Structure 1
Amino acid sequence: MSSPAEYYKSLPPISKAFGTLCLLMTTAYQFKLYDLQDIALIYKPVFTHFQVWRLITNFFFLGNFSINFGIRLLMIARYGVQLEKVPFDRRTADFLWMMIFGSFSLLVLSAIPIFWSPFLGISLVFMLLYVWSREFPNAQINIYGLVTFKAFYLPWTMLAMDVIFGSPLMPDLLGIIAGHLYYFLTVLHPLAGGKNILETPMWVHKLVTRWQIGAQPISRAQPAGRAQPEPTTGTAFRGRSYRLSD
């Protein structure tokens, strides 16, 4: 059985960085090291006072220390990590691009008044959860030992549970919308004969290579000066069957 330090070291880089930043931001807030108003997504000071950090910092606050905070962090540790380790194995640049695209989509959606949310961290977690549910649609999910269902329905089940327990609906819904948009553009649309218009940009590949983030893709023989081809994001409804417990 590995130690906590060994487990943490074994985590894939992007999920590990996201979860760690969320934990640190919440811990710092609990010690009153900053005010939430200073990191919240408020568009007016972004454009009038150039407080551009708000476009990034709002993604790393998942709420006060609570059961809900713990559940969100576990969702990153389980679903985000498995997503990065299996469908995105040796495709760190693609996973990072998915996170960047998801964040940008959430910022655009949140600019619409009825969708606005001061913190989009929970939405980004739900985006990961949605993509995971589409990559592992037949995984068996067990909720508190009471009900078992396929992972395909997990995002909607978690949304329903949040509504029952009084949590806001909009952050979860935004994440599902962003996740479906990404999955549609990278998997469903190409499978239907369309072009993948959301290929990972070369600058993301160069960033990952330069900073040696994650495992590098297996090298293949190719003409000099050309980027290595990357597989598409995955195949919808792979039919894999796992038994997971929540």
Structure 2
Amino acid sequence: MSSPGEWYNSLPPITKGYGTLCLLTTVICKLGVVQPVHIALFYERVFPRLEVWRLITNFFFLGPFSFNFGIRLLMIARYGVNLEKGPFDRRTADFLWMLIFGALSLLAFSLIPPLWTPFLGISLVFMLLYVWSREFPDLQVNLYGLVALKAFYLPWAMLALDVIFGSPLLPDLLGIVAGHLYYFLTVLRPLSTGQNLLKTPLWLHRLVARWGLGAQVYPGTRRASVAEGAASAGRAFSGRSYRLNR
């Protein structure tokens, strides 16, 4: 068995960076160095007062130390790693672009008053979970040792558990919507039209290469990743899909 340090060093760069920042943010808030209210998403402070860091820092707070916090961190460690090492293998820039697109989508949703929430970190984690469930829909998962189900249904099962535990549903739902929007634009729409409107920008490829983050296919190369779907044709969210990135 590897040591905790070896396990941590083996994590892919983007997932490791995001999970680490989420953990450090909670530690800093717990120690009282920064109060959560100072990093929350309050648009009335972002624009008039130019506190633009709130547009970013709100994604790194998953709540205080608690059972729910641990679950969200484990979701990053499992589903984020599986995505970055699986369908996004050698596509570090594409994986980072997925997170950036998700964050921008969630910020846009939160401009609508009924959809506003001060912290969007949980929503971004749920987006990861949703995309993972679409990439591995037929994988059997065990939910807390209570029930076995296909990965395709896992986001909805986690949503149902939040209903039972009395957690807010809005962050989960926003993450699912953002995840489906990304999956629609990068997989479903290209399958029907042959066009991908959400290609990773070239500047991001260059930035990832300059920083030496992971490995990636040259931006000009066409690469397909397979998402195993349900076998029945004509059913919503079913079938075998191929990600067309270039």
Give the Cα separation in 2 of the matches to 1:216 and 1:193: 26
| Percent of matched pairs sharing the same residue | 68
Uncovered stretches (5+) of structure 2, i.e. residues with no partner: 231-246
Measure how far apart 1:237 and its partner are. Answer: 2.9
What are the residue-to-residue correspondences of 1:5-84 with 2, within 5 Å? 5-84=5-84
CA deviations on 1:58-81 (whole Å, 9 max, x unpaired) are 000000100000000000000010
- The structure with higher relative contact order (CA 8 Å, sep 6+) is 1
2:146 corresponding residue in structure 1: 146
Give the Cα separation in 1 of the matches to 2:198 and 2:20: 27
TM-score with structure 2 setting the length: 0.91
Is 2:93–2:216's contact at 8 Å kept on the other side of the alignment? no
Give the Cα separation in 2 of the matches to 1:202 and 1:66: 40
Is 2:87–2:226's contact at 8 Å kept on the other side of the alignment? no
Give the Cα separation in 2 of the matches to 1:184 and 1:144: 30
The RMSD of aligned alpha carbons is 1.4
Q: Structure 2 vs 1, CA of residues 70 and 165 (structure 1 numbering), >3 Å: closer, same or farther?
A: same
What code does the residue aligned with 2:192 have? Answer: A
Is 1:187–1:236's contact at 8 Å kept on the other side of the alignment? no
What code does the residue aligned with 1:201 have? Answer: P
Instruction: Tell which deviates more after alignment, 1-10 or 31-40.
Output: 31-40
Give the Cα separation in 2 of the matches to 1:36 and 1:178: 24
1:242 corresponding residue in structure 2: none
Measure how far apart 1:41 and its partner are. Answer: 0.3
2:163 corresponding residue in structure 1: 163
Instruction: Tell which deviates more after alignment, 27-36 or 57-66.
Output: 27-36
Residue from 209, 229, 243 that aligns with 2:221: 229
CA deviations on 1:153-199 (whole Å, 9 max, x unpaired) are 00000011011101000000000000000000000111112410000
Measure how far apart 1:235 and its partner are. Answer: 3.5
Is 1:109–1:115's contact at 8 Å kept on the other side of the alignment? yes
1:134 corresponding residue in structure 2: 134
Is 1:102–1:124's contact at 8 Å kept on the other side of the alignment? yes
What code does the residue aligned with 2:221 have? Answer: P
What code does the residue aligned with 1:228 have? Answer: G
What code does the residue aligned with 2:41 have? Answer: L
Measure how far apart 1:143 and its partner are. Answer: 1.6
CA deviations on 1:16-50 (whole Å, 9 max, x unpaired) are 00000000000111111111111000001111011
What are the residue-to-residue correspondences of 1:150-229 with 2, within 5 Å? 150-217=150-217, 227-229=219-221
Measure how far apart 1:107 and its partner are. Answer: 0.2
1:223 corresponding residue in structure 2: none
Moved over 6 A (4+): none
Give the Cα separation in 1 of the matches to 2:90 and 2:227: 19
Is 1:61–1:121's contact at 8 Å kept on the other side of the alignment? yes
CA deviations on 1:70-95 (whole Å, 9 max, x unpaired) are 00000000001001000000000000
Measure how far apart 1:149 and its partner are. Answer: 0.6
TM-score with structure 1 setting the length: 0.91
Measure how far apart 1:230 and its partner are. Answer: 4.3
Give the Cα separation in 2 of the matches to 1:192 and 1:216: 26
1:224 corresponding residue in structure 2: none
Give the Cα separation in 1 of the matches to 2:65 and 2:222: 39
1:243 corresponding residue in structure 2: none
1:122 corresponding residue in structure 2: 122
Instruction: Tell which deviates more after alignment, 57-66 or 144-153.
Output: 144-153
CA deviations on 1:201-227 (whole Å, 9 max, x unpaired) are 00110100111111243x6xxxxxxx4
Give the Cα separation in 2 of the matches to 1:180 and 1:139: 19
Give the Cα separation in 1 of the matches to 2:226 and 2:143: 27
Measure how far apart 1:236 and its partner are. Answer: 3.9
Is 2:39–2:53's contact at 8 Å kept on the other side of the alignment? yes
